[in-house]
C-alpha cells in the first residue's frame, strides 16, 4: 500500500495490505450475513487507517488485527463449505501441439481434493499458443468464489534431424516441423558432448552446414524457438545424430 503516514513503518502497511487483500478475495455468499457484516466493518476501519496521514503505527497494526479477527470469526452460510478463493490450484505445464491446451487441474481445499463439475468448473484462456495460459476455477455446489491460475505452454522437442553428406565438406540437415516454432537453432560439433559446438539458425526446414572437415564425424542436434513478447522461448534439444562428412 502507498505510505501516507510517516508515523507508520513499511512493515505495518505491508501487513495491513496483505490481510485486507485476503479478505477482499472472499465471496460474501459463502458466509453468514452477520459475520460478513463484521468483516466489512473491520475492512472499513482498515481503509480509514491506511488513508489517514496522521495515523500511528499502533493504529495501523490494530486495524490489521481487527480484520484478522473478523476473518477468523467468519461463519459459513448454510449449505456452504468454503470458497474456491482459498483453495490451492495446481495446473500442469504442457507443450504446444497445434491445438488448444487443456492441462490437468487439481483443486484442493483444506487438504481435500475437490471434484470437477461437482465442486468446481473450469474455463481455459490464452491456451492456443506458446506462452502463458490461464485457467479460471469457479466454485459450484457447496463451494463459491473464483480463482485464477496460470500454466506454461512450451515448444515440443523437435524430431531427430536427418543428415545427408554433400561434396565440398558439407552436410544437408533436414528438420521436422515443430508446432508454434518460428525458427530452429542447429548445433553441430565433432564430439558427442557438444563442447565448443557451433550454431546456425534457420526459419526453413533445411539448412546446409559448410566448411566442415572432410572425413570427420559430426554430431548434430536442433532446438526450436519462437518469440513470446520480447522473450525468445526455446524447446529442449532433439536427440543428437552423427554423420561422416564426405571426403
**Residues 120 and 139 sit within 8 Å (Cβ to Cβ):** yes
Residue-wise pLDDT tens digits, 188-202: 999 999 999 999 999
Per-residue pLDDT, 86: 87
Each as own residue / partner, the long-range contacts of residues 138-141 (CB below 8 Å, 24 or more positions apart, any chain) are: 138/84, 139/27, 139/83, 139/84
Provide the pLDDT for residue 77.
73
Task: State residue 125's pLDDT score.
Answer: 97
Per-residue pLDDT tens digits for 154-173: 999 999 999 999 999 999 99
Give yes or no for a contact between 216 and 171, defined as CB atoms under 8 angstroms apart.
no
Question: Based on the number of CB atoms within 10 Å of its own CB, is 197 exposed (0-12), middle (13-18) or buried (19 or more)?
Answer: middle
| Closest residue by Cα to residue 57 from 1, 11, 7 | 7
pLDDT of residue 29: 79
Q: What is the pLDDT of residue 142?
A: 85
- Which residues face 139 on adjacent strands? 120
Can you say whether the dihedral through the CA atoms of 42, 47, 51, 57 is positive or negative? positive
* Alpha-carbon gap, residue 89 to 149, rounded angstroms: 7
| End-to-end CA, the chain | 71
Query: Do 245 and 214 touch, CB atoms closer than 8 A?
Result: yes
pLDDT above 90: percentage of residues in the chain: 84
Contact 167, 211 (CB under 8 A): no
Q: Does residue 82 register a pLDDT over 90?
A: no
Residue showing cell 557438444: 194
- 209 pLDDT above the threshold of 70: yes
The secondary structure element, H or E, covering residue 50 is helix 33-51
State yes or no: pLDDT of 78 exceeds 70: no
Using one digit for the tens of pLDDT, what is the confidence trace for 19-50?
A: 999 999 888 877 888 889 999 999 999 999 99
Helix (H) or strand (E) holding 219: strand 217-228
Cα(19)–Cα(43) distance, rounded to whole angstroms?
Answer: 10
At residue 1, the pLDDT reads 66
Q: Higher pLDDT residue, 77 or 118?
A: 118
**Which residue's entry shows cell 491456451?**
127
Average pLDDT over residues 117-144: 94
Which pTM was predicted? 0.68
Amino acid at each position: 500500500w502507498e505510505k501516507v503516514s510517516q508515523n507508520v513503518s513499511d512493515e505495518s502497511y505491508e501487513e495491513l495490505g496483505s490481510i485486507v487483500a485476503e479478505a477482499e478475495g472472499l465471496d460474501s455468499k459463502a458466509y453468514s450475513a452477520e459475520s460478513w457484516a463484521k468483516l466489512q466493518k473491520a475492512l472499513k476501519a482498515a481503509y480509514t487507517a491506511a488513508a489517514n496521514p496522521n495515523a500511528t503505527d499502533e493504529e495501523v497494526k490494530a486495524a490489521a488485527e481487527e480484520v484478522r479477527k473478523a476473518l477468523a470469526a467468519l461463519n459459513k452460510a448454510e449449505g456452504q463449505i468454503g470458497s474456491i478463493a482459498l483453495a490451492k490450484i495446481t495446473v500442469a505445464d504442457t507443450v504446444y501441439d497445434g491445438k488448444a491446451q487443456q492441462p490437468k487441474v487439481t483443486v484442493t481445499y483444506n487438504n481435500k481434493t475437490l471434484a470437477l463439475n461437482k465442486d468446481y468448473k473450469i474455463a481455459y484462456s490464452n491456451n492456443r499458443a506458446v506462452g502463458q495460459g490461464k485457467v479460471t476455477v469457479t466454485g459450484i455446489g457447496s463451494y463459491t468464489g473464483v480463482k485464477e491460475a496460470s500454466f506454461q505452454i512450451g515448444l515440443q522437442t523437435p524430431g531427430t534431424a536427418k543428415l545427408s553428406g554433400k561434396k565440398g565438406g558439407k552436410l544437408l540437415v533436414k528438420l521436422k516441423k515443430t508446432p508454434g516454432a518460428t525458427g530452429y537453432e542447429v548445433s553441430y560439433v565433432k564430439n558427442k558432448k557438444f563442447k565448443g559446438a557451433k550454431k546456425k539458425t534457420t526459419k526453413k526446414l533445411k539448412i546446409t552446414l559448410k566448411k566442415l572437415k572432410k572425413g570427420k564425424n559430426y554430431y548434430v542436434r536442433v532446438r526450436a524457438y519462437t518469440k513470446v513478447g520480447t522473450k525468445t522461448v526455446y524447446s529442449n534439444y532433439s536427440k543428437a545424430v552423427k554423420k561422416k562428412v564426405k571426403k
